[in-house]
Chains A and B, each alone.
Chain A
């Protein structure tokens, strides 16, 4: 979207025929610019041999395009395909209006191994902004491409990229009011390599990654009531960890991966419990008569925030994982604040704020103030990327649910995977090495 500001001109110390030297440096003001995607050229990486299973340059190009911040040059328009800095004629690229150029080469190292090398070049200075050699494998080439996208993104936009993360989500195929198939899936952030890890005729919800990315906790209604399972995503083995009368849901792994905070309503209304995964021991944390749900751990494991409507409408509260007094966190932020989760630095919460639509908001834990960072009418499921400064959320668009990421100050936005139809409950996994 082009956004053009008003024009004004001011010159200091220069007028036709002036004899006196200007006071201070000559100053020219630039008051107009173009807001748009940054032009970048990504050249196919050099490779000789039988065709590789992945076109790394194309994956990078797609990643950067999807982010909304870059406009890669179409491959057919590339004037040349240098694979080495010595082969680059920077003037060619300047003339085409490219700001940056990405070149690379791939070489086989035997046994299905590859070395992927790339350079990100500044077309105007001719300097290299970033360059790496990444060992890879035939089964991992897409992941390597995503890592390169992350590096390029971060080098040029100073914000961590989200291209090499995985997401877990639920898809629903509805055939009739009570006839649906629910699938819990894991995929790359761009939607590729989707794998169904559970398929059921009964609802599945709330997938939650373990901190090491090896396990997924989720809620399944396959036994005609909600129950919480923990499944190893590598082996497929799973264990039912919380079940019984009432609601058993909203699992959240502790930062050390040893405990789950959950919601159980077996005592009559939903309360927060902490479950030791090893021993199965459960500690009840809330006892009020309202709804207490959606627990989330602080990065240091010392605090659990949760949603409670004990005050009349959903707000965020905090409690120690060992139990004890509960304090309200959100004030003066409207009548609906739910599903909070911590930023990686522990200083703020991202949450869903409602009232005439639902949007994502950030709550600063030090100042106690909230601000909205998305403007959608039905934006939900926010979560901070681990180690990053991005927030992932789902937004209801015209084509179904879009998964998107935004920087913490609400500025740089990335669109990640676009799934046709219903995608629910996206949960972003930790970065893969």
Chain B
């Protein structure tokens, strides 16, 4: 999980000057191998720039470093990403 987190955080760039305290949640779906097939905002931060950069960060990190072990992978097929820097 830490690897997924790190991969996404590496690509999460947002422009200077956004208001503090933003938080959004994305629904993410991956296929075996980690390719992101769906990443959409299910709870907006209210700031479209922040939301968009979160989405971009997920896509940038694709394919995600998901576990190979089938049972663990199954649990990782769909998950929520909460962006709250």
Contacts and interface: CB of A to CB of B under 8 A. Distances in A.
**A–B contact at 8 Å CB threshold (below):** yes
A125 B78 contact: no
A270 to B, nearest CB: 38
A25 B84 contact: no
Contacts of A39: 13
Interface in B4-60: 4-5, 8-9, 11-19, 27, 47-49, 52-57, 59-60
A38 B52 CA distance: 12
B16 A68 contact: yes
Interface string B60-79: 10100000000010011011
A35 B55 CA distance: 16
Contact of A158 (B2, B13, B48, B54): B48
A5 B80 CA distance: 21
A35 B75 contact: no
Interface stretch (A289-297, A341-349, A405-413): A405-413
A404 to B, nearest CB: 12
Interface residues of B, number: 39
Interface in A1-60: 1, 5, 9, 11, 14, 22, 25-39
A34 B2 CA distance: 17
Nearest to B2: A9
Given A26-B78, A94-B60, A158-B48, A36 B19 contact: no
A70 to B, nearest CB: 8
Nearest to A8: B84
A410 B16 CA distance: 11
Contacts of B57: 30, 33
B60 to A, nearest CB: 6
A36 B57 CA distance: 13
B59 A125 contact: yes
A28 B13 contact: no
A31 B22 CA distance: 11
Contact of A409 (B11, B19, B54): B19
A335 interface: no
Contact of B1 (A11, A32, A412, A413): A11
Contact of B80 (A1, A26, A32, A38): A26
A227 to B, nearest CB: 42
Nearest to B18: A411
A34 B1 CA distance: 20
A282 interface: no
A107 interface: no
A32 B85 CA distance: 5
20 contacts: A9-B5, A14-B1, A14-B72, A25-B27, A26-B75, A26-B76, A28-B5, A29-B5, A32-B12, A33-B12, A33-B53, A34-B13, A34-B14, A35-B13, A35-B16, A37-B16, A124-B55, A124-B60, A412-B15, A413-B17
Interface of A: 1, 5, 9, 11, 14, 22, 25-39, 68-70, 94, 97, 99, 122, 124-125, 156-158, 407, 409-413
